[in-house]
A and B are shown apart, each in its own frame.
Chain A
């Protein structure tokens, strides 16, 4: 994130405290079973809130409630200080980009993008020349001008996605909802469009809710990230917060590729040192975690360590945990080495050189060392991060 963008965001959050932006208060919804339970979120003007969680977590339902396509059982919604729930869907000025894109199959790309403007122009047949200019500009911007006379059936997934985005952005909406906008595209296109959309969103002032099941996508597109699971908000925070200080096992598991390593174990103190013991592996807790460890229920904790906070060291190095090579996958810029630590498979994200040193021979003994600044402690009984058990500020950034 660059500096000017940061400043403008700060200004926007200041506006948010004046009632501008979107506020979701105590929203609950159940169909047959509860889908959303007591959701509280705020999104400032121009802010992108990435909503992430496993499928079925309630992301789409929340978007649909905001759009007015579903009614919340309880709770309040306000947009720029006005009660949103009282406004019918058609007049909320919400642009909703559907997971399925929902392009009108019988209309050309241009007609699709024109449709919201036609509706807004109180359905008069004549749409001003300015609208057509706006459409041309939008189509140019998303590089789909040459497709303008095609029907959606003749477009590829990425092209449809751009048309849907154009249709959403042309409305100058009061609220922008992107429901899994790029989830169904291939990885290469996802990378390309993620940046493009991010760039487009920076230029407008509506609050944006971007839902995605991909935790890493959420970290990369959101000014802030809300993690939802089982209909509850697990954590809301900056991408850095979510990455370095996940509030629960659930959150920690959702983020990262390969996913975080979780070691169940027990805590015990000897002399002045607190140790974490997983089977025969024993790790001395760094000072930052000792205090947090005291709050653990029955001393049963789960130790979380990201694959990039594990290092392969010599078997006889001081404090090295004895493990065996399980598999070694070189990716070119880095390698993923899977090791067997007393029956538990751990992922190690390491340099190509270190991976080469580990070799290919399955079962070969290796030494493991955990970077103390990358350790996280969770209460095994509740699954919550132990209070104060935060990794200190570190350079262990999400590697996208």
Chain B
């Protein structure tokens, strides 16, 4: 790789690097500014001309903790974790079945699964509300978990199916001929080779659930209040609490950033290459 960039000439490389750095700076600046705001006294935030030096304060953190925002963080985290775990448990066999087995109306069924993802969420949230109100799932942890699974499951099955299709079927056939049972083949051969795909897709599902607002707002809101839903509480009658918003915003960003780093490592799927002669 380094050879290639060297032969391209250092001038070209510099221009390219410069462009990328400039772009990253533009994109990252608001986040950087938000990170600064976490520690900025209120009067420094909107001072004109812009104040670059200030005495850092932890007042925003204190307020956020006093108001119990950590509870929203835990709620969000648990909700995303449980719904994503369920999606993996239910979706993995489903994706595998769609990729491998012959069944009646397979294409129609698959379209049906995809269709749940195609409809705008706002179309779904109203019937959801009525159904949940009827069966007593409104503002419950189980209800929101269920709601999140509806849109994440279809995405998960859709993406993982193509991972499953990329697995050479001969590997499973070879294992079957050796005398392994179907469950053993799944555990010994299919699962280890799908692991990267499962992790990558699950992380995406987790992020979707983490960022979700509409369902959490409509179907939850009081006892079960996720972090994105809690943020408007900072728009108070005394004005918008920008510093506190920055604290909550950055906190909300951290899991996503971590997830993306994990994703980056796992999305490299060199593993199945080489299973079949090239």
User: Taking beta carbons and an 8 Å cutoff, which residues of A are in contact with B?
Assistant: 67-69, 89-92, 94-96, 98, 100-106, 115-116, 119-120, 123, 151-155, 157, 160, 171, 184
Minimum Cβ distance to chain A for residue B143 (Å):
39
Residues of A within 8 A of B63 (CB): none
User: Taking beta carbons and an 8 Å cutoff, which residues of B are in contact with A?
Assistant: 168, 170-171, 173-181, 184, 188-189, 192-193, 270-277
The 27 listed contacts between A and B (C-beta, < 8 Å) are: A69-B173, A69-B176, A89-B177, A90-B176, A90-B178, A90-B180, A91-B179, A95-B177, A96-B173, A98-B170, A100-B168, A101-B277, A102-B275, A104-B175, A105-B273, A105-B274, A106-B192, A106-B271, A119-B179, A119-B180, A119-B184, A123-B184, A151-B274, A153-B275, A155-B274, A171-B178, A184-B277
Residues of A within 8 A of B273 (CB): 105, 153
Nearest CB in chain B to that of A95: its residue: B177
Asked if A104 and B176 make an inter-chain contact with CB atoms under 8 angstroms apart, the answer reads no
Minimum Cβ distance to chain B for residue A61 (Å):
13
Asked if B171 and A160 make an inter-chain contact with CB atoms under 8 angstroms apart, the answer reads no
Most chain B CB within 10 A, of A92, A106, A153, is at A106
Give CA–CA (A171, B274) in the complex, Å: 23
> Which one, B170, B188, B270, B272, contacts A102 given CB within 8 A?
B170
Give CA–CA (A134, B176) in the complex, Å: 22
The 7 closest A-B pairs by CB, nearest first: A153-B274, A102-B170, A105-B275, A119-B179, A116-B178, A102-B174, A100-B276
Minimum Cβ distance to chain B for residue A286 (Å):
48
| Other 18 A-B pairs with CB < 8 A, given A67-B177, A100-B170 | A69-B176, A89-B176, A89-B177, A90-B179, A91-B179, A96-B173, A98-B173, A98-B174, A100-B168, A102-B168, A102-B173, A103-B275, A105-B171, A105-B271, A105-B274, A105-B275, A106-B193, A115-B188
Minimum Cβ distance to chain B for residue A362 (Å):
41
Nearest CB in chain A to that of B170: its residue: A102
Give CA–CA (A98, B168) in the complex, Å: 12
Nearest CB in chain B to that of A151: its residue: B274
Nearest CB in chain A to that of B181: its residue: A90
Give CA–CA (A53, B29) in the complex, Å: 67
Nearest CB in chain B to that of A179: its residue: B170
Asked if A68 and B177 make an inter-chain contact with CB atoms under 8 angstroms apart, the answer reads yes
Nearest CB in chain B to that of A112: its residue: B174
Minimum Cβ distance to chain A for residue B249 (Å):
40
Minimum Cβ distance to chain A for residue B270 (Å):
7
Residues of A within 8 A of B272 (CB): 105
Nearest CB in chain B to that of A94: its residue: B177
Give CA–CA (A96, B276) in the complex, Å: 15
Minimum Cβ distance to chain A for residue B277 (Å):
6
Give CA–CA (A45, B181) in the complex, Å: 28
Residues of A within 8 A of B275 (CB): 100, 102-105, 152-153
Minimum Cβ distance to chain A for residue B227 (Å):
37
Residues of B within 8 A of A105 (CB): 171, 193, 271-275
Asked if B177 and A92 make an inter-chain contact with CB atoms under 8 angstroms apart, the answer reads yes
Residues of A within 8 A of B179 (CB): 90-91, 116, 119-120
Residues of B within 8 A of A100 (CB): 168, 170, 275-277
Give CA–CA (A95, B188) in the complex, Å: 19
Give CA–CA (A119, B188) in the complex, Å: 11
Residues of B within 8 A of A103 (CB): 275
Give CA–CA (A103, B174) in the complex, Å: 8
Give CA–CA (A94, B175) in the complex, Å: 12
Minimum Cβ distance to chain A for residue B255 (Å):
29
Residues of A within 8 A of B181 (CB): 90
Nearest CB in chain A to that of B275: its residue: A105
Residues of A within 8 A of B176 (CB): 69, 89-90
Minimum Cβ distance to chain B for residue A330 (Å):
34
Give CA–CA (A105, B190) in the complex, Å: 11
Give CA–CA (A157, B274) in the complex, Å: 10
Minimum Cβ distance to chain B for residue A92 (Å):
7
Minimum Cβ distance to chain A for residue B195 (Å):
9
Nearest CB in chain B to that of A152: its residue: B274
Asked if B174 and A96 make an inter-chain contact with CB atoms under 8 angstroms apart, the answer reads yes
Residues of B within 8 A of A171 (CB): 178
Nearest CB in chain B to that of A171: its residue: B178
Asked if A160 and B180 make an inter-chain contact with CB atoms under 8 angstroms apart, the answer reads no
Give CA–CA (A214, B81) in the complex, Å: 56
Residues of A within 8 A of B276 (CB): 100-102
Minimum Cβ distance to chain B for residue A83 (Å):
18
Nearest CB in chain B to that of A177: its residue: B177
Most chain B CB within 10 A, of A67, A105, A153, A160, is at A105
Minimum Cβ distance to chain A for residue B272 (Å):
6
